Structure 1
Amino acid sequence: MRTEHFTTAGALAAMPGIADGPQLPERRWAAVLTADVVGYSRLTSLNQEQTYLLYKAHRRELIDPKIAEYRARFAKSTGDGILAEFETALDAAQCAIAVQERMVERCKGESVHRRIVFRMGLSCGNIIADREDIYGHDVNVAARLQTVAPAGGIAMTEKVAELVGPSLHLPLEDLGVQQFRNMCHPIRVFQCRVPGESIHENSAESLV
């Protein structure tokens, strides 16, 4: 599948503007993945068209197919990033790792001025979903985690780490408890670094 928006069958049958009245949101458990491009503003200031075309190529050839392969229930573009929902934390984590590992291969030999590097956040819990979007605390948590993830890597909540850790082929590093802006309670964060992503660190990780 090469689209930027995956939905449940029910959502596809009730596209915006077609439904004949307001629809109550669905409450469900989900694993939430967020991702964005490290240093996207810097990249676009250097070459806006080239950055756009590279980003779209990575989405079309790798990220969107992987999201579909791991059975995302919902996904959408968020400008230079992605928001996706999965039925299980393991699906979300394996999808994130698969994408980051392939991105290392795709970026080999590329100039720092062309290289697209993603960072990702993973959370899980009860969310609210309607035909257009997903909402809730854990959607916000995933977005916050993505901002502290290493370039080319993944940050996740303690709950996600407990659910997926034994099944992953990569080690998880405990970053301890962190307090995020506008969040009432601190969150214990774990991170996963994909081997080889260190080629990105000096070039992009601190440039947001």
Structure 2
Amino acid sequence: MSETSRKLTTIFCADVQDYTRLMGRDEEGTLATLRRYRDAMTRLIEAHGGRVINTWGDGVFAEFPSVVEAVRAAVDVQNELAGYNAALDTEKQMLFRIGINLGDVIADGSDLYGDGVNIAARLQSRASPGGIVISNTVYDQVRNKVAVGFDFLGQLEVKNIEGGVPSYAVRVGDVQVVDTRTSEYRSNPQPAPARAPDMAARIPLLQDWRLNYGTPLIICAGLAVLNGLTWSGEFWAKWPILIIIWVNAYRFVRSNKQVDMAIASLVITGIGIVAINLFTWYGTPWAVWPLFGLAIAAAVRWVSRPRSGV
């Protein structure tokens, strides 16, 4: 018999909007889509250090040691699934709602119980299809650390929690991903922190861009200047600069879930090969042959892209 203990952890709860309707239209196709989407969610959850606890029915239940990584995983999940849904007819699209809470829970073996879990489930039920809702305990930890905006929703009524739970919708770009038309929020919510709505989204996005891409650009500029100051007739800085640009191009593609990773990688590889050919030019355009092979691979990938839920 396993022993129980208490711990503070981040709970991630997700389920499918209108799952019954989807099953009524096409059971086998819906199950195939659900498996595919769950595989993607599991991969992203684990990539952010999370652990999938359960996948009952149409839901996914996970925990994270890091609050920041839990929110980043949720954003990545919704972005990637949005890309999948873009290739489907509207009636076949499978939209997940996600709720995240940081709270004290009871651990019984690999299972978790308690108000911390229940709050995450209630937050998930209030998110709009394709949306994310977080508790105030999560918001306090991530508001300046994740490149998204937040909209204060008020106090969400939760059983056994007197006064409700202050909650926030996660806003990616200009998309507000929450259903605020519900009586389960108090009519006179606590006012949101004094923050300009646009700046709430723009400041963390700018900080994230500076951290991820500003530093590599500064390094490239520094290498170019150093090459100029030590000029001996050779532009040696082109090689480290090319590598830095190449690596960060792949990073950008990986972070953009609306782009087909395979095709984008082939394009980036092709551009890199052309650059190498030009940097080592001796009158022979040898890059045309690998480019031909990459073009064929990209065309095959394009025509074989999944366009349905199978």
- TM-score, with length taken from structure 2: 0.54
Query: Unaligned stretches of 5+ in structure 1?
Result: 1-21, 202-208
Write out aligned runs for 1:169-180 (5 A).
Answer: 169-180=147-158
Please state how far the C-alpha of 1:184 moved relative to its aligned partner.
Answer: 3.4
Write out aligned runs for 1:189-208 (5 A).
Answer: 189-195=167-173
Please state how far the C-alpha of 1:196 moved relative to its aligned partner.
Answer: 8.3
Please state how far the C-alpha of 1:181 moved relative to its aligned partner.
Answer: 4.4
* Aligned twin of 1:7: none
Write out aligned runs for 1:3-152 (5 A).
Answer: 22-60=1-39, 62-152=40-130
Gap change, CA 1:171 and 1:57, over 3 Å in 2: same
Q: In 2, Cα distance between the equivalents of 1:121 and 1:159?
A: 12
User: Which structure has the greater CA radius of gyration?
Assistant: 2
Superposed CA offset, 1:129-156 (max 9, x none): 1224111111000000000012111001
Q: In 2, Cα distance between the equivalents of 1:34 and 1:47?
A: 25
Q: Are 1:168 and 2:146 matched, yes or no? A: yes
3-state SS in 1 of match to 2:35: helix
- TM-score, with length taken from structure 1: 0.79
RMSD: 2.1
Q: In 2, Cα distance between the equivalents of 1:51 and 1:166?
A: 38
Q: Specify which structure has the bigger relative contact order, considering alpha-carbon pairs within 8 angstroms and separated by 6 or more residues.
A: 1
Please state how far the C-alpha of 1:28 moved relative to its aligned partner.
Answer: 1.1
Q: In 1, Cα distance between the equivalents of 2:89 and 2:172?
A: 20
Give the number of aligned pairs: 179
Please state how far the C-alpha of 1:74 moved relative to its aligned partner.
Answer: 4.7
Superposed CA offset, 1:53-110 (max 9, x none): 10101112x1111111111245210210111011011111111011001111111131
Gap change, CA 1:173 and 1:145, over 3 Å in 2: same
- Asked whether the equivalents of residues 17 and 97 of structure 2 are also in contact (C-alpha less than 8 Å), the reply is yes
| Counterpart code for 1:137 | D
